[in-house]
Amino acid sequence: MHTRDEAERFEVAGPARPRPAPRPSARRLASRLGNRAFGRLLRDPVSGDTVADPARDAAKLAGEKPSTDVEYATWLLAAADAGFAVLWKDTRATLEAFSAGKAYSGIQPSATDVKVRALVTMFDLVLGAMRRSTSAPGATKRAVTLGSFLRDKTGPHAGAAIDLPRGMGAGTVDEVIAMLGDLSPGHYGIGLPFSGDYFDPRDEVEAKKSAAQSAAGSGGTPASVAGALQLDAAHTYKVEWDAERNEWKKPATDQAGAAYTLLRSSALKDLFKTMRHAGSTLVIFPDRPGHVHIDQR
């Protein structure tokens, strides 16, 4: 005879049900079925579930060739989900909208061709990383971080450029060379920072002017500056001191398109030479720290 409290608890909880038997571990299941049968079960699960296989997923993605903005966005999302790309929050939101054929930041993706050229750049870079990871079983998977590529309705960041956030200190140039080597022949603007094996901060025009003034000493006339660099500019510059006004004149072009000659890494300069021989047109310039900038022109 149950007390009232016990009866109420019984009515709420209901009668006790037998607990399901624990699912057998993979080892026990293999022992029961036989290794060959177990292998077939993994390949063709009767339940309809799929067994994760990164190499198979990568091979499938690597075999696809998108041809529209919508298809490229869909491919990049799948590659990110497979671990080959890391997407900034806004970048993922953009790709998700494009994959659904919806506009984002005023840019309407095309379902028939490619208008957002940065998508092609991202595809090349992620595909290259994917192939390197799958060609060496057991190697660490290296994902490409994809930053912003839509900021404005016009200009490079209206869909032509992609920023690739990453460490850009000393010792990173081999990874950057591998990344840039994945680009298909084309017309590119490539921005690299004043750091590491890239551009020397001492070559920046303001740094050179300051050094010239320090060398001249108090009351002295600074020597003219040559071979200087400026952000976002592919040229080198020269600057003269205006003795009458006791100030620097405006920078003038020293050598057009020569900024890349001041890169610290000879291997990186060799890569750009190889890319040009393969048919690419390159505009190389100093950019902000902490990323590689690539735009299609």
Give the global pTM: 0.80
Q: How confident is the model at residue 152, as a pLDDT?
A: 85
* pLDDT-based confidence at residue 13 (cuts at 50, 70, 90): very low
DSSP bridge partners of 193: 287
What would the pLDDT profile of 124-176 be if each residue is shown by its tens digit?
999 999 998 888 766 677 899 999 999 888 888 899 999 999 999 999 999 99
* pLDDT exceeds cutoff 80 at 32: no
pLDDT at 130: 92
Task: Give residue-wise pLDDT tens across range 36-62.
Answer: 443 443 444 443 444 445 667 788 899
**Mean predicted confidence (pLDDT) in 94-109:** 97
What integer pLDDT is reported at residue 70 of this predicted model?
98
Instruction: Please determine, for residue 278, whether its predicted confidence score (pLDDT) is greater than 90.
Output: yes
What are the pLDDT digits (tens) for 68-86?
Answer: 999 999 999 999 999 999 9
- For residues 68 and 74, give the distance between their C-alpha atoms in angstroms, rounded to a whole number: 10
Contacts of 41 (CB under 8 A, 6+ apart): 33
pLDDT score for 137? 67
Of 86-95, 106-115, 150-159, 176-185, the one with minimum mean pLDDT is 150-159
Confidence of residue 271 (pLDDT cuts 50, 70, 90): very high
Q: Tell me how far apart the alpha carbons of residues 109 and 6 are, in angstroms, rounded to a whole number.
A: 65
Question: Is the pLDDT assigned to residue 119 strictly greater than 60?
Answer: yes
Q: Mean pLDDT across the stretch 237-261?
A: 97
Q: Quote the CA–CA distance of 30 and 23 in Å, as a whole number.
A: 13
